[in-house]
Structure 1
Amino acid sequence: MKKNMGSADRIIRVLIAAVVAVLYFTNVITGTLGIVLLALAAVFLLTSLVSFCPLYAPFGIKTCSTKK
């Protein structure tokens, strides 16, 4: 797996995941919607940790710099 996510993309995903987690654990979002958003937040966190988004690959999207 080659990296296809840049720093800004990773930071945004981590921030979104943190906001969703806080909203879920403070019972602002609950029920099925809360669980779905929490699962999506977990995916965002995982993809930002490995710097690879599987949805970017088929479309050839790369948000990382191309420096070698």
Structure 2
Amino acid sequence: MKENMGKVDKIIRVIIALVFSALYFTGTVTGILGYILLALGAIFILTSIISFCPLYLPFGISTCSKK
């Protein structure tokens, strides 16, 4: 897997994941929507850690800075 995520993209994903988690754990969002947000947050954290987003691949998107 070749990295296709830049630093800003990773930071934004982590922030969004934290917001999703906060919404769920404070009880603002519950039920199935809450579980969906938790799953999306987990995916955002995972893709930030590995610096690879599979959805970018078919579209040829890369937010990495050129080396």
2:60 maps to a residue whose letter is G
Q: Which residue of 2 aligns with 1:56?
A: 56
Q: TM-score, with normalisation over the residues of structure 1?
A: 0.96
Structure 1 position 66, deviation (Å):
1.2
Identical aligned residues as a percent: 66
Q: Which residue of 2 aligns with 1:44?
A: 44
Q: Partners in 2 of 1:21 and 1:46 — Cα distance?
A: 14
Specify every segment of 5 or more residues in structure 2 that has no aligned partner in the other structure, as ranges: none
**Residue correspondences, number:** 67
TM-score, normalising length: structure 2: 0.97
Superposed, which structure 2 residues align to 1:1-68 within 5 Å? 1-67=1-67
**Deviations 1:11-58, CA, capped at 9 Å, x for gaps:** 000000001101101101000000001101100010001000000011
Residue 19 of structure 2 aligns to which amino acid in structure 1?
V
Q: Which runs of 4+ in 1 moved over 3 A?
A: none
